[in-house]
Amino acid sequence: MYLPNWMHKLASPPHFFRISGWLAPWLLWPAVALIALGFYAGLVLAPADYQQGDGFRIIYVHVPSAYLSTLIYGLMAAAAAVGLIWRMKLAYAVAAAAAPIGAWFTFLALVTGAIWGKPMWGTFWEWDPRLTSELILLFLYLGFMSLRTSFEEPTKGDRAAGLLAVVGVVNLPIIHYSVIWWSSIHQGPTIKKLDAPSITWEMAWPLLTLILGFTLFFAGLLLQRVQAEVLERERNARWVTEIMRPGIEGG
Amino acid sequence: MTPRRQRLITVALILSGVGLAVGLALQAFEENLLFFYSPTQVLAGEPPDGRKFRVGGLVATDSVSREPGQLEVSFDVTDNQNTVRVFYNGVLPDLFREGQGIIANGTLEADGSFRAEEVLAKHDENYMPPEVAEMLAAQGHPDQSNKP
């Protein structure tokens, strides 16, 4: 039940604040480069699909967004669990900072899916297991965000919302396996299978580039949001007044 | 037992409890979560009588027939074991073609045919340029034998 020393050190807000301030640009600039490269390759270089024509290119936004929507939820729930069990303040700040980013990616995955679904499937929306469980994920994010801010005492909000985040984890395997467990309109995973890729390499590498780019973008954005979250939560702490003083005095 | 360990156990218990409950609920509702029935299941009488349900499968090759000058279309849906004749009056999605997976929503008629109110195309997870698809089809690749 003991955390290693480096974790204790990392969990100290001023320490984390410094490290993430240094690290964020190193994540965000490569992210911008990878996303630019991925979009150019995906929208210009990659060939059109044999059935869907150019319409398939929406996967270059849809797949990274959908992947991140579940990854971020897992991370947010893990952070919330650490907060609940170890009473680590920084972990609550991470969960709070991650939620809106995750909600936006979930929204993006749903919207791009609907735009693609209309011409290809013939419908914007179906109450299909995959689509429904992804919509529930969006509601979990929104529930987490509103529950967290609905208490006068921030710690209570953190704990209540944290519990919701942890309980909502059961939705993640449902989203992932929905297309395998049940007969669904949504196709199975394209790039999960390591043995037989069901996508041509010319179409796959821009997608993989974009997944990496989106993930780095999320990581950099998360660090910056955690910084803001930590500043707000620790606004009365001495280290905050100390690092803020030059700014205040210098106008 | 430290309070920390106690909280860890509490969180683990809550999560596994909720997980178990959801698992059991999904198990119980499995039939209702079925998005579509296969033609074999339809012929076995599994779909509920007199209610709307969905039938899914591949559009059988050379089975599509259209009424000239009308939207009325009919085709066979097959799971490579059994077939159901589907009648539909409306606009078909872009991906509709022979050999393509589709899902039709509607009701079973007395003569065993299916009257669809909605036809959706089901896409598979394969993405490739047309040249590759043609090459695979020419080689008689099993995955591509039903593609145009």
3-class secondary structure, B72: strand
User: CA of B67 to nearest chain A CA: how many angstroms apart?
Assistant: 21
Q: Can you list the alpha helix ranges (DSSP code H) found in A87-128?
A: 89-120
Return the pLDDT at B1: 67
**Backbone Cα Rg of chain A:** 20
Q: Has residue A248 got a pLDDT over 70?
A: no
CATH number of the domain where residue B66 is located: 2.40.50.140
Q: How many other CB atoms are there within 10 angstroms of residue A135's CB atom? A: 14
Give the Cα separation of B37 and B103 in Å (integer). Answer: 9
Together in a domain, B67 and B124: yes
Nearest to A182 among B33, B92, B129 (CB): B33
- B123, A184 in Cβ contact below 8 A? no
Handedness of CA A4, A5, A8, A9 (dihedral sign): negative
Does the beta-carbon distance from B19 to A126 stay under 8 Å?
no
B79 Cβ neighbours under 8 A, 6+ residues apart: B38, B39, B40, B57, B58
Does the beta-carbon distance from A170 to B8 stay under 8 Å?
no
Token pair in block for residue B39: 């033609």
Residues of A in contact with B94 (CB under 8 A): 52, 55, 119-120, 122
Does the beta-carbon distance from A122 to B124 stay under 8 Å?
no
Give the Cα separation of A73 and A172 in Å (integer). Answer: 8
Does the beta-carbon distance from B95 to A199 stay under 8 Å?
no
Give the Cα separation of B28 and B20 in Å (integer). Answer: 12
> Helix (H) and strand (E) counts for chain B?
4, 6
Q: DSSP secondary-structure letter at A170?
A: G
Domain residue limits at B136: 35-144
Together in a domain, B27 and B44: no
Residue in B4, B30, B35, B73 to test binding to A, most A beta-carbons within 10 Å: B35
Nearest to B133 among A50, A87, A199 (CB): A50
Give the Cα separation of B131 and B134 in Å (integer). Answer: 5
ipTM, 2 dp: 0.70
Query: For a pLDDT cut of 70, what percent of chain A falls above it?
Result: 93
Handedness of CA A194, A199, A205, A210 (dihedral sign): negative
Tell me the β-bridge partners of B57. Answer: B102
Residue in B1, B32, B118, B127 to test binding to A, most A beta-carbons within 10 Å: B127
Does the beta-carbon distance from B15 to A174 stay under 8 Å?
no
Does the beta-carbon distance from B123 to A51 stay under 8 Å?
yes
Token pair in block for residue A62: 């849809």
Query: A2-25: per-residue pLDDT in tens?
Result: 667 777 777 788 889 999 999 999
Give the Cα separation of A211 and A221 in Å (integer). Answer: 15
B5 Cβ neighbours under 8 A, 6+ residues apart: A1
Token pair in block for residue A52: 């869907």
- A248, A76 in Cβ contact below 8 A? no
Residues of B in contact with A56 (CB under 8 A): 127
Token pair in block for residue A238: 């001495």
Does the beta-carbon distance from B95 to A51 stay under 8 Å?
yes
Does the beta-carbon distance from A166 to B15 stay under 8 Å?
yes
Query: B6-64: per-residue pLDDT in tens?
Result: 888 888 888 888 888 888 888 777 666 667 888 888 888 888 777 888 888 888 888 88
Tell me the β-bridge partners of A49. Answer: A53
Query: A54-79: per-residue pLDDT in tens?
Result: 888 999 999 999 999 999 999 999 99
Say which residue the tokens 């921030």 belong to. Answer: A154
Together in a domain, B106 and B138: yes
A191 against A244, higher pLDDT: A244
Cβ-based interface (< 8 Å): residues of A facing B? 1, 47-52, 55-56, 59, 81, 84-87, 119-123, 126, 128-129, 163, 166-167, 169-170, 174, 182-185, 187-190, 198-200, 202-203
Give the Cα separation of A137 and A67 in Å (integer). Answer: 12
Together in a domain, B7 and B77: no
Q: Can you list the alpha helix ranges (DSSP code H) found in A127-193?
A: 129-148, 154-167, 171-181
Does the beta-carbon distance from B4 to A188 stay under 8 Å?
no
Token pair in block for residue B80: 């490579």
Together in a domain, B22 and B41: no
pTM value is: 0.84
Which residue of A lies nearest to B94 if distances are taken between CA atoms? A120
Report helix angle B3-28 to A59-86, nearest 10: 140
Q: How many domains are contained in chain B?
A: 2
Give the Cα separation of A17 and B101 in Å (integer). Answer: 53
Return the pLDDT at A118: 86
Does the beta-carbon distance from B14 to A163 stay under 8 Å?
yes
Q: Which of B79, B34, B110 is nearest to A129 (CA)?
A: B34
Together in a domain, B29 and B45: no
Query: B71-129: per-residue pLDDT in tens?
Result: 889 999 988 888 899 999 888 887 888 888 888 889 888 888 899 988 888 877 777 77
Nearest to B93 among A59, A122, A202 (CB): A122
Which residue of A lies nearest to B124 if distances are taken between CA atoms? A187
Residues of A in contact with B11 (CB under 8 A): 81, 84-85, 163, 166
Query: For a pLDDT cut of 90, what percent of chain A falls above it?
Result: 58
Nearest to B129 among A87, A187, A200 (CB): A200
Give the Cα separation of B100 and B114 in Å (integer). Answer: 18
A155 Cβ neighbours under 8 A, 6+ residues apart: none
Together in a domain, B2 and B47: no
Give the Cα separation of A83 and A77 in Å (integer). Answer: 10
**Backbone Cα Rg of chain B:** 22
